[in-house]
Chain A
Amino acid sequence: MGPVSYSWYNSRRCILSRANVTLVDYGIGNLQAFCNIYSRLNVSIDIASTPEELSCAKRIILPGVGAFDWAMTRLIDSGLREMLDDLVLTQHVPVLGVCVGMQIMAKNSEEGVIPGLGWLDAKVKHFNHNNLSPDIHFPHMGWNDVEPAFQNELFANIIDPRFYFLHSYYFSPANLMQTLATTEYGIQFTSAAVSGNIYGVQFHPEKSHSWGIQLLRNFSEI
């Protein structure tokens, strides 16, 4: 029998301390809003700002507000990237990226020069202002409809789904099968994506009242 691996040791250590959902604290995004929603739902939650704290995660939320390069820089500086890659890509822990937290799962973005995490084969593109009605203003800001492309537990029990958007760039997957939901704003774009254990939403469920609360509840049960 070989030496006991770190991951085996860690899995034993984690049994006692596992929260249902772990928020990645890399200095960006509204951690408190997620915490408030989950505590009302009686879902156990913890916040990870070190690789050790993150290592036990059962489900991960990667929040985000801000520009692509700023978010990537913060994530790299946080020292969490390697552990995140391992949990998401090797251990297949469910992860939900929110807003720019979704965008940095792509390979790159027209908003910046720093490569993304590359978990999904996707690019982040700028809305093309040309050929659009003058009534369409950018950034895309406000409450818009979200149309699921197929049945998925993330959107279970959400009637008439609508969420709050705030962005100038959109996530564009190479494989359209990864488009979990779409939204119309001048064009039809991917407002939620999925590939195996990896989920991303362009909108802010933590700021979308009952629709967002139900989506976050759904993620905690995936």
Chain B
Amino acid sequence: MLRPRIIPCLLIHNGGLVKTVKFTDPKYVGDPLNAVRIFNEKIVDELIVLDIDATVSNAPPNYKLIGELAGECRMPLCYGGGVKSLNEVENIISLGVEKVAISSAALADQTLIKESAQRVGNQSIVVVIDVKKTGLISKRYEVFTHNGKRSSGVHPVEFAQTMESLGVGEILINSIDKDGTLSGYDMDLVDLIRRVVTIPVTVLGGAGSQTDIANLFQRFGVIGAAAGSLFVFKGKYRAVLIQYLSEIEKDQMYLLDISDSPLS
């Protein structure tokens, strides 16, 4: 049985790991390689690492760090941040990263997506869709780039469909409004996108408890549940503590009829 994936997402800013709230106010939570070692011990399903400086500062990917992360990870790694050329995609895969996440460049350069998927295989190309609700009265979803600062005018559903048609292997839906709020995933947004694409979907933004993740699995079956704050903070004062679910807790989510057995 294919299991749904539960994925810590780590953000890199000024060389350290941070956690943001609604894409702002980065709080330092530790050293990237140290965090990977802890997540190794906790047997996480997968790891996402996003460099949130690269696109904004127009910097190339930090290959030294990527190589170190990929070598240290005993689980699959998805790396994103500032990826804007086929050459960079190839280099990152060659360093042993399983999946490359592309965000702003996917809006600017559809050829990049198509060529990357052909070269390294569609299973290794992930598109990150940063989504925010805009409009004063009738709120609508819109794709944003540059850490939520630049609007695109593109609707995420339309964008996801285009990306699938270009050969992308996975969509990572990232809700800016939900980021760091621990208030649950934006299920409506997930529903809109899950309906229109046949490739795997992973959801990020808002997970604050095991129940939030269980609800996502209950509604959408096999899907990726990513989370930042949930796995790096503990308690209402947000003390930094790297944590993850135990194998037993995970099995409960996959195997039990979740609707009949509410999890804490």
Binding site for B on A (CB under 8 A): 27-33, 35-37, 65-68, 70, 100, 111, 129, 134-135, 137-145, 162, 164-168, 184-185, 204, 206-210, 212-213
Contact = CB atoms under 8 A, between A and B. Distances in A.
Interface stretch (B92-100, B182-190, B230-238): B92-100
Shortest beta-carbon contacts, A-B, top 4: A30-B96, A32-B71, A139-B123, A67-B121
A204 B76 contact: yes
B96 A139 contact: no
B92 to A, nearest CB: 10
Given A30-B70, A100-B121, A168-B123, 7 more contacts: A67-B121, A129-B198, A137-B199, A140-B2, A144-B1, A166-B123, A168-B169
Main secondary structure of the interface of A (DSSP, over half): mixed
B102 to A, nearest CB: 16
B221 interface: yes
Interface in B188-223: 198-201, 221-222
A137 B3 contact: no
B71 A66 contact: no
B121 A144 contact: no
A185 B121 CA distance: 19
Contact of B124 (A65, A137, A207, A213): A65
15 contacts: A32-B70, A35-B71, A36-B74, A37-B74, A65-B120, A66-B93, A67-B119, A139-B123, A139-B200, A142-B5, A142-B200, A165-B2, A166-B124, A207-B76, A207-B77
Contacts of A144: 1-3
A163 to B, nearest CB: 11
Nearest to A210: B43
B76 A185 contact: no
A209 B121 contact: no
Nearest to A209: B43
Given A36-B71, A141-B200, A135 B222 contact: yes
